[in-house]
Structure 1
């Protein structure tokens, strides 16, 4: 016969004393700690998103391919246009690819707009390690 106490509610399970160790009290909820953790996590994610947007997502810096000319075994000349904020400057990454699609050369070009102007048209030579088939503008970002 098992031992039961008169103070234990009938629906609560009865455990033999000393057999299972001390019963833990139900854990205290810590809403302040949870709120603080969520706030810090959201702040870190927001800062990371802002940094990545500033670095890669600024839509005011756009490079537009116009043409590629003067193709030789060691270079291609890329003619392109860049849209920047008025009077701003940008650094654009250019690349040359061979007929099979492999990258055979790349170059960075920094361009600056005249005060009040937003569009810059320029030409840049891209040195290559093999004969290129095409020259292209990969991306433009703020200079600096």
Structure 2
């Protein structure tokens, strides 16, 4: 007769199991889970790196100014390889983040690779902010 009343009632030993009744993971299972997590991190890093290689244009917003109910001015820096051209989309947003104005700004090639630009965005109603939505390499003819 067993000294464990639960084993007598349910027909199994409590040794080797946690209170939920599950057995701990084996070493092989732990290695497989670790390998799967490492592979996932590597895939995410590769996608981030390849995206950066496809779009060599970076930007940094410097500031904005509400000129009137019909215009917002946005100042920003564009960094790209020397000699490259780009197009940046600048948007004016209302308090509820609705787009009330948009402008594509063409960035001419530069020897230094960095330029400061100011864009004047016309709006359909009063905006509360101006932002750079994105910058991308310009299509070559």
> TM-score normalised by the shorter chain: which range applies?
0.5 to 0.7
1:55 Cα deviation (Å)? 9.3
The structure in which a higher percent of residues are helix is: 2
Asked if 1:131 is matched to 2:129, the reply is no
Unaligned runs of 5+ in 2: 1-49
SS in structure 2 of the partner of residue 107 of structure 1: strand
Offset from partner CA, 1:26-51 (integer Å, 9 cap, x none): xxxxxxxxxxxxxxxxxxxxxxxxxx
Indicate whether 1:83 and 2:79 are aligned.
yes
Unaligned residue ranges in structure 1 (runs of 5+): 1-53
Instruction: Number of aligned residue pairs: give it.
Output: 91
- Pair 1:92 & 2:103 matched: no
Mark the structure with the bigger radius of gyration. 1
CA RMSD across the alignment: 2.2
- Distance change in 2, residues 1:99/1:82 (3 Å): same
Residue 113 (structure 1) shift: 3.5
Is 1:61 matched up with 2:57? yes
CA contact (8 A) 2:56 2:137 kept: no
